[in-house]
A and B are shown apart, each in its own frame.
Chain A
Amino acid sequence: MQNYVFDGSFEGLLSAVFNWFERKPGQVKLQTEAAFQPDAFMPCLHIVNEREKADRVWKGLQANLSKATLRKFYCTYLSELEEGYTALFEFACYLFTEGAAIENNYGNPYVLALSKIAKKVEREKHRMEAFIRFQHNADGIYYCGIDPDFNVLPLIATHFKNRYADQQWIIYDLKRDYGLFYDLSTVEEINIDFNQRQKTTGIANAIVSEKEGLYAVLWKDYFKSTNIQARKNTKLHVQHVPKRYWKYLTEKQFEPD
């Protein structure tokens, strides 16, 4: 058994796979630097990121995996979970040892793990497409700040670009401190210096446009009047709209009495 420690980047992960095939060290435990605890009895290899090697592994994955599985691979990486990195590493080693046929062998724990973690990430992606509430700011830009469990910004960029083609918008990941800005032609990655402005999920922002308040109120009204009291089912409601997302949702903001 040996420890492999990498920096948490995609390139690092792929480099680790390359290293394993170079060295064939048997059983390996892959960890990120952040989670790594040195162990006196286990040898440890710090993975050096190497672009060329990572590219070769990525090409190998592309050649051997269907589009759907390749996407699962990428989604699992975006989960930022330690067990996700392990699953990816083991999955890649298994794939390059056994050949392309294994990608749907759900009897294998790592193939199954990939599929399950990817599903969680896809669910989060879908939730962000649903729960983002833009707020029209005085500068004409539609803004929303989020802090999703997984790093889903790369997955939602195209959706919002295609949908909101005629308005400028910013979606900002407050947890990971980067965002997407669409300027009516392309989507760019941006960093906002929050020293000047309040860090906010978009709701209760001080610089909103004139009509913003009206539409927020109309939306809250709509949300209330579309409910059927005789069918009230709070459990189901919370299951669909977990409480951790309420802070994004305009319809869940209540004025203090």
Chain B
Amino acid sequence: MSERLREKLNILADAAKYDVSCSSSGGNRKNDNKGLGNSHASGICHTYTEDGRCVSLLKILLTNHCIFDCAYCVSRKSNDITRAAFTVEEVVELTMNFYRRNYIEGLFLSSGIFKNADFTMERLLRVVKKLRLEERFNGYIHLKTIPGASEELIREAGMYADRMSINLEMPTESGLKLLAPEKTHQQVTQPLGFIKNQIVQFKEERKLIKSTPKFVSAGQSTQMVIGATPETDKEIMQTAALFYKDFSLKRVYYSGYIPISYDNRLPMIGSQPPLIRENRLYQTDWLMRFYGFHVNELLNDANPHLDIDIDPKLSWALRNLQHFPVDINVAAYKVILRIPGIGVTSAKKIVQARKFGKLRIDQLKKIGVAYNRAKYFIKCADSPYQLKDYQGSQIKSFIQAESQSKYLKYDTSQLILF
């Protein structure tokens, strides 16, 4: 009995690992029914895989049987792999027992599609209902919305889940058409739009009637596969920006494609996943969400791709030297945020600390500013007097000479052939 359970867990955890979302944050469910668990705004990562990604949720598929045949997916119909399916009880028991031992923050439940969308969605719904109502479980639950499921089922699931998500899969419609002819972006935007409207509606009702239940309190997210199709970084980030705006998404995840198929529409098995590119996309995402950058400032027709050798904030600064140097002691918080080498925490500390007197270089270093990087873009109380105006390319080479890039070993610059 337990051997079969082990086998199922191995198969269905393995198949779910390509889903990037690991967040257990943003929920706020109190344990006020003397049951098990709660979830905080901040979330907790309980461990990290050997590839360095965090594990905070029991991330599994209900089944890897699937009626679809999407080229990029391990569970695709035509793939010759062992299939398995959990029962509702098995998922509930695993979640409860892992949670009781403090292994996890909650459950991330996705599924291949067996029979049809509603049949699958109904199973997912039974799992969350059992957890919440019978087991009095208040931990985090992230539920995958099954595209094409009926609105009644999605609506009911939203009453019990903290977060719902549905993957865009490919950043552009044409990319998706190429690899998953049966799918369209419209199948994704429809439920995203529905859930967003429900969230707004429930919030309005809660203002009037306190007892209105929460609906998907941690919001929605989505995911795009990067590097399987030839989109530019500009196209990817513009899609992301659009989805943040139209569907008030909490997160967009970018997943560097890991070759799992011999299909000749896709990168070969064994080729390196685009890890640096993925990292640069996340940095850009952060700049949009927390640093007040508009996507067009970072990526536009003149710069459709992010630099591999420097981060996008430095890259923007070097292209826009007219905004620098910034005087740390007088500039507005928003302006300080745009200086390479200064993050949100140090920017806040600077604004607090300068009330007590002009800040000097040594103080900036102690506050946590990456001074070797920032020094080309700032003025402070004891900045050395500088006659020469450097070019962007000079500054770039100074910074690169001083910093040990962790990516140096992957240096991929093209050799000159002719």
Contacts A133-B101, A221-B9, A228-B17 given; indicate if A106 touches B52 (C-beta within 8 A): no
B49 pairs with A107, CB closer than 8 A: no
Residues in A neighbouring B53, C-beta threshold 8 A: 228, 231
Please pick, from A131, A221, A232, A234, the residue contacting B6 in the complex, using a CB distance under 8 A: A221
Residues in B neighbouring A136, C-beta threshold 8 A: 100-101
Closest 10 CB pairs of A and B: A236-B52, A231-B51, A240-B48, A106-B353, A233-B52, A225-B14, A104-B352, A227-B49, A225-B13, A105-B356
**B269: nearest chain-A partner, CB-CB:** A230
A218 pairs with B6, CB closer than 8 A: yes
B102 pairs with A218, CB closer than 8 A: no
A133 pairs with B9, CB closer than 8 A: no
Bound-state Cα–Cα, A144 to B9, Å: 25
- Contacts of B98-144 to chain A: CB distance below 8 A: 98, 100-103, 136
Tell whether B45 is near chain A: CB-to-CB under 8 Å: yes
**A102: nearest chain-B partner, CB-CB:** B356
- Residues 59-90 of chain A, each 1 if its beta carbon lies under 8 Å from chain B, else 0: 00000000000000000000000000000000
Residues in A neighbouring B405, C-beta threshold 8 A: none
- Contacts of A208-253 to chain B: CB distance below 8 A: 211, 214-215, 217-219, 221-237, 239-241, 249-251
- Residues 162-200 of chain A, each 1 if its beta carbon lies under 8 Å from chain B, else 0: 111111000000000000000000000000000000000
Residues in A neighbouring B366, C-beta threshold 8 A: 106, 109, 112
- Residues 307-344 of chain B, each 1 if its beta carbon lies under 8 Å from chain A, else 0: 00000000000000000000000000000000000000
Please pick, from B18, B36, B55, B103, the residue contacting A164 in the complex, using a CB distance under 8 A: B36
Residues in A neighbouring B9, C-beta threshold 8 A: 218, 221-222, 225
Residues in A neighbouring B49, C-beta threshold 8 A: 223, 226-228, 237
**B22: nearest chain-A partner, CB-CB:** A226
Residues in A neighbouring B30, C-beta threshold 8 A: 162
Tell whether A15 is near chain B: CB-to-CB under 8 Å: no
Q: Apart from A215-B97, A221-B10, A232-B51, what are 13 other A-B pairs with CB-CB below 8 Å?
A: A107-B357, A136-B101, A144-B102, A164-B100, A167-B100, A218-B9, A218-B94, A222-B13, A224-B10, A228-B17, A228-B51, A231-B258, A240-B54
Tell whether B400 is near chain A: CB-to-CB under 8 Å: no
Tell whether B58 is near chain A: CB-to-CB under 8 Å: yes
Bound-state Cα–Cα, A136 to B363, Å: 50
Residue with the greatest number of chain B CB neighbours at <10 A, chosen from A126, A130, A217, A237: A130
Residues in A neighbouring B98, C-beta threshold 8 A: 215, 218-219, 222
B258 pairs with A112, CB closer than 8 A: no
B55 vs chain A, min Cβ distance (A)? 6
Tell whether A155 is near chain B: CB-to-CB under 8 Å: no
A225 pairs with B258, CB closer than 8 A: no
Bound-state Cα–Cα, A112 to B364, Å: 12
B13 pairs with A251, CB closer than 8 A: no
A166 pairs with B136, CB closer than 8 A: yes
- Residues 252-279 of chain B, each 1 if its beta carbon lies under 8 Å from chain A, else 0: 0000001100000000000011010000
Tell whether A142 is near chain B: CB-to-CB under 8 Å: yes
B47 pairs with A251, CB closer than 8 A: yes
B48 pairs with A217, CB closer than 8 A: no
Residues in A neighbouring B13, C-beta threshold 8 A: 221-222, 225-226
B101 pairs with A215, CB closer than 8 A: yes
Tell whether B153 is near chain A: CB-to-CB under 8 Å: no
Tell whether B5 is near chain A: CB-to-CB under 8 Å: yes
Bound-state Cα–Cα, A215 to B98, Å: 7
Contacts A130-B45, A218-B5, A240-B54 given; indicate if A165 touches B31 (C-beta within 8 A): yes
Tell whether A129 is near chain B: CB-to-CB under 8 Å: yes
A219 pairs with B101, CB closer than 8 A: yes
Contacts A217-B6, A227-B51, A249-B47 given; indicate if A133 touches B258 (C-beta within 8 A): no
Residues in B neighbouring A241, C-beta threshold 8 A: 47-48
Bound-state Cα–Cα, A219 to B46, Å: 12
Tell whether B171 is near chain A: CB-to-CB under 8 Å: no
Tell whether A132 is near chain B: CB-to-CB under 8 Å: yes
Residues in A neighbouring B355, C-beta threshold 8 A: 104-105
Tell whether A18 is near chain B: CB-to-CB under 8 Å: no
Bound-state Cα–Cα, A219 to B273, Å: 27
**A212: nearest chain-B partner, CB-CB:** B101
Please pick, from A107, A126, A134, the residue contacting B363 in the complex, using a CB distance under 8 A: A107
Tell whether B189 is near chain A: CB-to-CB under 8 Å: no
Bound-state Cα–Cα, A228 to B258, Å: 9
**B6: nearest chain-A partner, CB-CB:** A221
- 8 A-B pairs with C-beta separation under 8 A: A105-B353, A130-B47, A163-B38, A225-B10, A228-B18, A231-B258, A232-B50, A240-B52
Tell whether A31 is near chain B: CB-to-CB under 8 Å: no
Tell whether B213 is near chain A: CB-to-CB under 8 Å: no
- Residues 1-36 of chain B, each 1 if its beta carbon lies under 8 Å from chain A, else 0: 010011001100110111000000000001100111
B44 pairs with A130, CB closer than 8 A: yes
Residues in B neighbouring A221, C-beta threshold 8 A: 6, 9-10, 13
Bound-state Cα–Cα, A104 to B356, Å: 9
Bound-state Cα–Cα, A245 to B384, Å: 45
Tell whether A201 is near chain B: CB-to-CB under 8 Å: no
Please pick, from B2, B46, B54, B101, the residue contacting A135 in the complex, using a CB distance under 8 A: B101
B80 vs chain A, min Cβ distance (A)? 19
Bound-state Cα–Cα, A109 to B54, Å: 35
